[in-house]
Every structure is written in C-alpha cells, then in structure tokens.
Amino acid sequence: MNENPYSPHTEADRTAMLERIGVRSVDELFNAIPRDARSPRLGIGAGMSEQEVQAHLEKLAALNKTAGSGPFFIGGPIQRRYIPAAVPVLALRGDFLTAYTPYQPEVSQGTLQAVFEYQSLLAELLAMDVVNSSMYDGASATAEAALMAVRLTGRKKVVVSSDVDFTFRRTLRTYARGAELEIVDVPTDRLASSADGAACVIVQHPDAFGTLVDVRAIADAAHEVGALCVQVTEPHALALLEPPGALGVDIAVGEGQPLGIPMSYGGPHLGIFACRGALVRQMPGRIAGQTVDADGVRGFVNTLQTREQHIRREKATSNICTNEALAAIHAAVYLSLLGPEGLRAAARAGVARAHALANRIAALPTCRIANDGAFFDRFTLRTEMGGWDLRLALLERGIQVEATASHYVDGKRRGRDDVIVQCTEMTSESDADALVDAVAEITGSRQAVAAR
C-alpha cells in the first residue's frame, strides 16, 4: 500500500507514465540540477498516519491555555467574540475554502458575489464609498493607507498618533523603511497641529486604550493643510459610533477579525480598507465589481485591475496578490446573520460590561481609570503597583489581561505602566467578579476596604 495518503499513483501508473515520457526513471527528469545538489537528506523524520498526527496536534494544543478557559480581558484589534454556528459552516465550505482567486469569473461567481457583498456591507458600516476585497490585516492596511496617501500627495511625512495600536505602528514603521518615509509619532491631541507638510495623519477611534476621539476636528485640520485623514477603526464600534464616512475621513482601515473570524493566535485575519470614491484609482488590492454576462445576466468580476501587480508590475499601487478573501466571506456571513440589531447588541454588550466593570474597579481605593476621556469597550487601569506586575499577578490567578508595558514601538513605550481591560459580549458576570476580587486582593484594596 502507498503510505502517502495524497499520492494517487500505483507502480503500474508510474511505469506507464515514464514509458510515455520516454525515460526509464524519474531521476532522468532532473538532469538540469547540479548533481551534488540532488536528492538531499533532509532529516525531518518519517511520516505519520492521520490518527497519529491528530493525536500529536492535540497534545501540542493541550499545552496552551485558551482564552475561553478562564476570565479573559485581552483585546485591542483582535477580540474574543461570539461566532454564530452558521459562520464556519458556510464560510468553510470546500467550494469557498479550496477555490483559487476568481480569475475565471464564469466559474467563480460564488466568491465574486460574496466578496462584492462583503464590500457593500462594509461600505454600509463605514459609510465609505469604496471598500476593497481585503488586505492581510489591520496593521498592513494601515501601512498601505499611508503609502496611498504618499502617492496621492507627493509628500513623504506621515504623522501617526501614538495612541494607535502598537502592532499597527510597528508595521507602519517597517513598511516606511521601503519608501523611506518620515514617521512622526505624536499624542492624539497634537495630531491636528502636526499635520503641516504631512501626506496624512493617522488617528484611531476608539484608540488603543479605548478612548473616544473627536476625529472630525482632526480631519478638518488635516484637510486645511492639504493632508489626508486616515482613521483606524473597529467594526463593532461602528454599529454605535459615527462612522468614518460621516467624519470627513479619506481612508478608513481596521482589523476585521471580530466579525466572526477566530483569533487563531494572530491570523489569518482581515484587513479592512476603504476610501472616498475619488481616490479609488490609487487604492491597493483586488476589488470586485458588478457587470453582466453575454446573455445580460448580472454577474461579478475583479475590476480596476490596472492598479494591480500582475498588470502594472513595478507601477502597481501595491505588491499584494494573495489576500484574505476567505476572512472577508466570514465577515459577510457574520454581518448577514447578525443584521443591524444583532451587531448593535454585541457592541452594546462590550460597552455596558466595560463601563460596569470600570465603575466597580474605580471604587477600589487602590485603582483608577486612566483614560483621557470617555471610553468605549475597553479601559486603562492604573494602580500603585504598575501594570506589568499586576498582569503577572493576575495571570497567576488564571486571569489574562494586557499590559501597556508591551506597547513598544522601535524601543519607545507609549504611556504609563498600566493594564488594559477589554470587554465584549463574551465577558460574563463571573469573569468581572473574578477580576474585581483579584485586583482588590493583589493591590491591597481588600485590606484598605476592610480597614475603612
């Protein structure tokens, strides 16, 4: 029996194939390869049966502590959200999962219509004119937005708020090395006054710490000096907050993972990328468009392809080829299932739980909420002991939170040594109780409260 489960050829097949080719062995097909480099010994071990592989993977997985295994408050662009059962059932159908990029539209209408609908759903959510079919993630979408603004303005300075998520700013800085852009980090309240000479200003709302930001004032100030305004946003927040399209934003980007896509330790996720209609010819990435077939039946194709690398090569708007179409289909299914009311409910749940939790924690004498203003569904917690140590102490009690001490970009840290607490509809009452109790105990509030 053939041990390789995916190899179809019997010995008789191989013999017949070699005969037809006119060679005696497969080795003869490799004459162009330097002799001493042929058939190296790799040393990666023997293959395994499916059953053994599955058992091995389960053993590895058991070494992790999943988000759902205890109170969990880590978030930011990637969030633990409820994924309706129908999302993976539909989006992971083999017809989507194992299809190629829809370059033959006659046999790819499923992908193309689903992606066109994704673009339409996100355009509704963002109130933007055009949404592309996806970027790798929110971080690369942010970097590509900066590059697009540079092409549109001919300027090489990009001003980014230091309250934009640190992973996005890291990727932005890395991408900027290519075009040798000047990246200037300033706090959000100085964005407006720093826009002069910039290709764009990049603001996040709600920001990395959960704080709500007056984007319109920043966009107005940017436009005043000929700069574009790029907003980093989050899909659930858009259900409740005024969307980028209503705030004067030119390019809106964000991480789409919370829309029904598993966290998967960081990917595959979904880069949301949207812009004003007038800017579409400089947009990166694939875009699906509506048309008709030879019989006049409505259909969809990849369009405006003269922006893309396979046509324009070094003059393309981006090098992106493989994207995250399957994640876009997840997001479309998720939004179709939840509808406007379902999305609002999920968003409100995060906000309500974050505010209730913040109120309880703020009542502890050792704690205070350190956001600069009103916050959305996550907040910043400051204690005497420092966020780093608090995070570790909470981890020892099985509670996972994020500390701002990890928010380094190029060796610089943003903000004080705090902890960020993210809530979603998955945050339960008992999770909240556990966090309040543990924070009280660790920071000494218990004794303080008892003494009062």
Partner 1 sequence: MTVVKRQPMPDAGATDVKALEPLLIELTRPGRGGRHVRAETNADIPPQFQRKAPLGLPELTEPQVVRHYTHLAELNYSVDGGMYPLGSCTMKYNPKVNDRAASLFADLHPRQSYRTTQGVLALAYELEQMLVKITGMDFVTLQPAAGAQSEFTALLMFKAYHAKRGDAKQRRRIIVPDSAHGTNPASAAMCGYQVTTVKSDARGNVDLEALKTALGPDVAGFMLTNPNTLGLFEERVREVCAAVHDAGGLVYGDGANMNALLGVARPGDLGFDCVHINVHKTFSTPHGAGGPGAGPLCVKMHLRPFLPKPWIVRESDGTYHYDTAREDREPESIGDSIGSVKQRLGNFGVLARAYTYIKTLGEEGLAETGRDAVLAANYLLALVREKYDVAYDRTPMHEFVLSAAKQKKQGATALDLSKALLDEGFHSPTVYFPLIVPEALMIEPTETEPKETLDAFAAALNRLADRAASDPASVHDAPKNTPLRRLDEVTAARNPKLKWQRPT
- Per CB under 8 A, the list member of 1, 63, 450, 451 interacting with partner 1 is 63
Number of amino acids touching partner 1 (CB under 8 A) = 208
The sheet carrying 378-383 orders its strands as 367-369, 378-383, 419-422, 402-403
Element (H, E) at 246: none
Restricting to residues 81-110, name those near partner 1 by CB under 8 A: 82, 84, 86, 89-102, 104-110
- Per CB under 8 A, the list member of 153, 186, 388, 437 interacting with partner 1 is 388
| 184 binds partner 1, rule: CB under 8 A | no
> Closest by alpha carbon to 200, among 268, 252, 245?
252
- Per CB under 8 A, the list member of 127, 184, 186, 279 interacting with partner 1 is 127
CB 449 within 8 A of CB 373: no
- Nearest residue (CB) to partner 1, 163 versus 445: 163
Rg (CA), the chain: 26
| 282 binds partner 1, rule: CB under 8 A | no
Where are the extended beta strands (E) located within 125-227?
130-131, 157-161, 182-186, 200-204
CA distances to 25, 32, 46 from 28, rounded to whole Å, are 6, 9, 26
- Per CB under 8 A, the list member of 338, 390, 421, 423 interacting with partner 1 is 338
CB hemisphere CA count around 140 (13 angstroms)? 16
Q: How far apart are CA 276 and CA 173, in angstroms?
A: 25
Q: How far apart are CA 97 and CA 89, in angstroms?
A: 11
- Nearest residue (CB) to partner 1, 197 versus 262: 262
Contact region for partner 1 (CB under 8 A) — 5-13, 225-233, 378-386, 439-447? 5-13
Restricting to residues 426-445, name those near partner 1 by CB under 8 A: none
| 76 binds partner 1, rule: CB under 8 A | yes
CB 150 within 8 A of CB 172: no
Contact region for partner 1 (CB under 8 A) — 192-200, 226-234, 324-332, 438-446? 324-332
| 296 binds partner 1, rule: CB under 8 A | yes
Peptide bond just before 244 cis, omega within 30 deg: no
- Nearest residue (CB) to partner 1, 153 versus 303: 303
Min dist. Cβ of residue 115 to partner 1 (A): 8
Which residues, in sequence order, are bridge partners of residue 271? 135, 255
- Nearest residue (CB) to partner 1, 157 versus 286: 286
Tokens, residue 332: 């479309």
- Nearest residue (CB) to partner 1, 269 versus 445: 269
Q: How far apart are CA 148 and CA 154, in angstroms?
A: 10
Q: How far apart are CA 275 and CA 132, in angstroms?
A: 9
Restricting to residues 343-362, name those near partner 1 by CB under 8 A: 343-349, 351-352, 355
Min dist. Cβ of residue 404 to partner 1 (A): 11
Residues 23-62, one symbol each (x = binds partner 1 by CB under 8 A, - = not), give: x--x--xxxxxx-xxxxxxxxxxxxx-x--xx-xxx-xxx
Angle of helix 387-396 relative to helix 429-443, nearest 10 degrees?
120
Min dist. Cβ of residue 318 to partner 1 (A): 7
| 177 binds partner 1, rule: CB under 8 A | yes
| 125 binds partner 1, rule: CB under 8 A | yes
> Closest by alpha carbon to 425, among 352, 375, 364?
352
Helix (H, G, I), strand (E, B) or coil at 316: coil
- Per CB under 8 A, the list member of 195, 219, 229, 333 interacting with partner 1 is 333
Restricting to residues 204-263, name those near partner 1 by CB under 8 A: 212, 214, 238-243, 245-246, 262-263
Q: How far apart are CA 190 and CA 360, in angstroms?
A: 32
- Nearest residue (CB) to partner 1, 335 versus 367: 335
| 141 binds partner 1, rule: CB under 8 A | no
Restricting to residues 302-321, name those near partner 1 by CB under 8 A: 303-306, 308-316, 318-321
